[in-house]
Chain A
């Protein structure tokens, strides 16, 4: 298979404009003759479905949540980037483009990233008009902050609840279309397979999570906006239900999966407190603007933090990276935390964290300022840990947080299956090997509001006059039967272990071998352990209950089964890439100072994988990355 990213010709700043001009259009009166299925109502899915409905298409939107007002997106705290340059500090489309590409360690496509930077400004306009209560200056203008190591203030925010507010904005736009009858909503409904006819995506099979009814839906095109897969690690900052099933089922039907091992391990989560813990809570990285990170100099230090004198503390980020200090990119901060904890210098009763200390900022700025900036985060921290961060330093540790990898898509956001699109965190497109803070919300909304609604017409226009394949067609009958069979199989194993037991074990393998630091031997070990555990899962999992009822164990069982297959690909992808880049750190490939060392000669490509069967080695198809507008440089934050 040859990959064609369909990048438009011309200078980078003209590509998107000329592409918009060149794509085939569907005229307004004809839009109602098309059916589009959107799976997922996070930022990407809700914004896409609402916009497609406004344009006049008939949209069906499906989510496993009880309402489109909830999605993993809602938990984003920090903010959303845009190149408004309202602060006159020298921001521009080119600078955001450059920062994103560099932050991603040069493993993303120039043209996509440039477009993202270009439309970022429209997102803020759109969301402001929707009534998102973004933070304001006293004069009534929008406020910004600098975030995640950016050297300009380009992050817009709504207290610590930016994701919530943006999602509610998109949800409300969607609600309007639902009321108008342009969008039909299926909530508490999970997509379990995708249906192809003559090589094109023509529909999906879903399970009603309340009644167990298995249903077929057909359409002219299908859009997957189903989010990321960091929950493969079991413990992550993802919402409990986030999973990879939709993307994985598409992959099994022929959609290539790209850069599966590119995961972001976020530096500032609350460390695990006990073995029954179900998820990790993120502390916004904005805290690094005012908090100083340190650990004791000596191993096994037992004194409480307040009694450790300055001389016995190691402010390791400030020491190693004087220019960026505590604001180094996420992957650098995370890896360094791991190193000091491995050295036995971790803090807290489990010795599994590092301090994030506000004492100095409180002294310099006053408690009131710190409270105004981070009050809700401090409260959240105290609620979870029972410690008061105004008095004792916070303890933080990295946690799986975001997956840069995902379904391979071309410039139009179409996967390798014609008619199947993927947007938001579910695709691989814009963040390369590491995502910058406040850029996921931007990408989700860029895809949903401003990119997909244009590009999809290119595929739809030639289909004018055709009807969607009817759901009584054989392809739907077969796919429906497959889903029934799979559900029956999971229910009938009746083994001795719960789904969570297996998931936790799988997570441990990934964390150990496909986590912050990876090496050849470990990855090979993972590639032996994962299939063995999967085999055990198939023989020994216990899924109580039946299909015809609300059955949360069954929901989880299918998701974890897919995580098993994906986990293997994550390990394989990491093994294949014998270089370090962004969040992917191969111990064999580092500078003498221990920094990630890229190998552009051999690995400046997207690794797109083709499914060949469970337990079979997938085919690797490379999309070479070419850089015309930025010079590849070794990242340095010294």
Chain B
């Protein structure tokens, strides 16, 4: 198939960016979207131009490294799919495809389609873990986890940290990502001791980088792992309780 690309090119974080048009003839419809970009990049290199920078690694929808705005949609038109799992057969011959990086204050552009998502790491560092030094754990079957709780925790834990939720949100909010990790840990018995400090620390850290949530729901629609908005509700409830409980705990300590 023959397509035309309009791609965001930007040399570095401070350089001005612009759209550049590229013809992409003879693309295999079996190819994945990123393989199509590989082909375009090979051709650019052959022509002595610098290839388009974009991130990817696993190319099977699990590492969360890829992520492009394709025709204004985070990860493109197919629901529940990361960019790397999208195939050219979802497009028509002759299509003009616009490709942009994630755009959000919390994700500065590094080059072309590559952004810096380290703000997500800072949020996990703030509390997205269970404190258990290596070697200190009891036998695994001493901790009973009801199957529904394990299943719900797994639903939340499926988040791949791609940032599509942020990119698709009109406010650039990161609630879905943060809620997924909070729910993953707060739903499990192992996560209870740090439940309240975790949610407060993570939400507070999130607010340093990201906008606020006004319940648009775009995030859920864009999420390649179909993380549910319900987790945001759960996080909000825990956060409000935490504000109260954490203060009370602090009071007890003093």
| Supplied contacts A131-B185, A142-B140, A383-B85, 19 more A-B pairs, CB within 8 Å | A51-B134, A54-B133, A68-B121, A129-B137, A129-B190, A130-B190, A131-B190, A133-B150, A133-B154, A134-B140, A136-B150, A163-B62, A172-B129, A175-B129, A179-B126, A187-B121, A278-B34, A278-B35, A453-B134
Interface size on A, residues (CB 8 A): 81
Contacts of A545 in B (CB 8 A): 50
Query: Least Cβ distance of B18 to chain A in Å?
Result: 17
User: B186: nearest residue on chain A (CB-CB)?
Assistant: A131
Contacts of B139 in A (CB 8 A): 125
User: A550: nearest residue on chain B (CB-CB)?
Assistant: B111
Identify A210's interface contact among B110, B140, B150, CB under 8 A: B110
A493 CB–B CB distance under 8 Å: no
A178 CB–B CB distance under 8 Å: yes
Query: Least Cβ distance of A626 to chain B in Å?
Result: 31
Identify 23 residue pairs between A and B in the complex whose beta-carbon atoms are under 8 Å apart, listed by A's number: A67-B117, A67-B121, A75-B58, A84-B141, A129-B132, A129-B140, A133-B150, A142-B140, A158-B154, A159-B158, A161-B158, A168-B157, A171-B124, A172-B130, A176-B125, A239-B58, A282-B60, A498-B45, A498-B46, A549-B11, A550-B53, A550-B111, A552-B51
- Ranked nearest first, the 10 interchain pairs of A and B with the lowest CB-CB distance are A140-B144, A129-B137, A172-B129, A128-B140, A133-B154, A125-B137, A179-B125, A550-B111, A133-B153, A51-B134
CB pair A74–B63 under 8 Å, yes or no, is yes
B103 CB–A CB distance under 8 Å: no
Residues from 22 to 71 in A contacting B, C-beta threshold 8 Å: 47, 50-51, 54, 65-71
* Assembled-state Cα–Cα distance A566/B156 (Å): 41
Contacts of B125 in A (CB 8 A): 175-176, 178-179
Contacts of A210 in B (CB 8 A): 110
A549-B111 contact given A75-B63, A176-B131, CB 8 Å threshold: yes
CB pair A553–B51 under 8 Å, yes or no, is yes
Q: Which one, A269-277, A301-309, A313-321, A525-533, is touching chain B?
A: A269-277
Contacts of A567 in B (CB 8 A): none
* Assembled-state Cα–Cα distance A66/B87 (Å): 25
Contacts of B154 in A (CB 8 A): 133, 158-159, 161, 165
Contacts of B48 in A (CB 8 A): 542, 544
Contacts of A97 in B (CB 8 A): none
CB pair B62–A139 under 8 Å, yes or no, is no
A172-B50 contact given A66-B116, A124-B140, A241-B57, CB 8 Å threshold: no
A137 CB–B CB distance under 8 Å: yes
**Residue from A50, A134, A179, A380 whose CB has the most chain B CB atoms within 10 Å:** A179
Residues 366-390 of chain A: 1 if any B CB is under 8 Å from the residue's CB, otherwise 0? 0000000000000010011010000
Contacts of A259 in B (CB 8 A): none
B218 CB–A CB distance under 8 Å: no
Residues 423-439 of chain A: 1 if any B CB is under 8 Å from the residue's CB, otherwise 0? 00000000000000000
CB pair A54–B134 under 8 Å, yes or no, is yes
Residues 140-166 of chain B: 1 if any A CB is under 8 Å from the residue's CB, otherwise 0? 110111110011011001101100000
Which A residues lie at the B interface, using CB under 8 A?
A: 47, 50-51, 54, 65-72, 74-75, 84, 86, 122, 124-131, 133-142, 158-159, 161, 163-165, 168, 171-173, 175-176, 178-179, 185, 187, 210, 239-241, 273-279, 281-282, 380, 383-384, 386, 449-450, 453, 498, 500-501, 542, 544-545, 549-550, 552-553
CB pair A175–B144 under 8 Å, yes or no, is no
Contacts of B70 in A (CB 8 A): none
Contacts of A240 in B (CB 8 A): 56-59
Query: Least Cβ distance of B113 to chain A in Å?
Result: 11
Contacts of A550 in B (CB 8 A): 12, 53, 110-111, 114
Contacts of A138 in B (CB 8 A): 147
Contacts of B59 in A (CB 8 A): 239-240, 278-279, 281
* Assembled-state Cα–Cα distance A449/B46 (Å): 46
Which B residues lie at the A interface, using CB under 8 A?
A: 11-12, 28, 30-32, 34-36, 38-39, 42, 45-46, 48-51, 53, 55-65, 78, 81, 85, 87, 89, 110-111, 114, 116-118, 120-121, 124-126, 128-141, 143-147, 150-151, 153-154, 157-158, 160-161, 184-185, 188, 190-191
CB pair B30–A273 under 8 Å, yes or no, is yes
Query: Least Cβ distance of A485 to chain B in Å?
Result: 23
CB pair A67–B35 under 8 Å, yes or no, is no
User: A180: nearest residue on chain B (CB-CB)?
Assistant: B125
User: B51: nearest residue on chain A (CB-CB)?
Assistant: A553
A126-B137 contact given A133-B188, A383-B87, CB 8 Å threshold: yes
* Assembled-state Cα–Cα distance A127/B110 (Å): 35
Identify B191's interface contact among A131, A168, A276, A552, CB under 8 A: A131
Query: Least Cβ distance of B89 to chain A in Å?
Result: 6
CB pair A67–B161 under 8 Å, yes or no, is yes
Query: Least Cβ distance of A12 to chain B in Å?
Result: 22
A161-B62 contact given A69-B124, A383-B85, A550-B114, CB 8 Å threshold: yes
Query: Least Cβ distance of A26 to chain B in Å?
Result: 16
* Assembled-state Cα–Cα distance A275/B11 (Å): 30
User: B123: nearest residue on chain A (CB-CB)?
Assistant: A175
Contacts of B57 in A (CB 8 A): 65, 70, 72, 239-241
Query: Least Cβ distance of A162 to chain B in Å?
Result: 11
A136-B147 contact given A131-B185, A131-B188, A550-B53, CB 8 Å threshold: yes
Contacts of B140 in A (CB 8 A): 84, 124-125, 127-129, 134, 142
Identify B129's interface contact among A124, A173, A278, CB under 8 A: A173
Contacts of B145 in A (CB 8 A): 133, 136, 140
CB pair A129–B143 under 8 Å, yes or no, is yes
**Residue from A134, A449, A453 whose CB has the most chain B CB atoms within 10 Å:** A134
A139-B118 contact given A172-B128, A274-B30, CB 8 Å threshold: no
Contacts of A51 in B (CB 8 A): 133-134
User: A51: nearest residue on chain B (CB-CB)?
Assistant: B134
User: B111: nearest residue on chain A (CB-CB)?
Assistant: A550
CB pair A498–B161 under 8 Å, yes or no, is no
Contacts of B49 in A (CB 8 A): 544
CB pair B130–A449 under 8 Å, yes or no, is no
* Assembled-state Cα–Cα distance A54/B132 (Å): 10
* Assembled-state Cα–Cα distance A126/B139 (Å): 9
User: B85: nearest residue on chain A (CB-CB)?
Assistant: A383
User: A82: nearest residue on chain B (CB-CB)?
Assistant: B140
* Assembled-state Cα–Cα distance A164/B224 (Å): 15
Query: Least Cβ distance of B56 to chain A in Å?
Result: 6
**Residue from A51, A173, A279, A449 whose CB has the most chain B CB atoms within 10 Å:** A279
* Assembled-state Cα–Cα distance A274/B59 (Å): 16
Contacts of A282 in B (CB 8 A): 60
Contacts of A129 in B (CB 8 A): 130, 132, 136-138, 140, 143, 190
User: B126: nearest residue on chain A (CB-CB)?
Assistant: A179
Contacts of A159 in B (CB 8 A): 154, 158
Identify B144's interface contact among A139, A241, A380, A501, CB under 8 A: A139
A276-B38 contact given A74-B63, A125-B139, A176-B129, CB 8 Å threshold: yes
Contacts of B62 in A (CB 8 A): 74-75, 161, 163-164
Query: Least Cβ distance of A351 to chain B in Å?
Result: 16
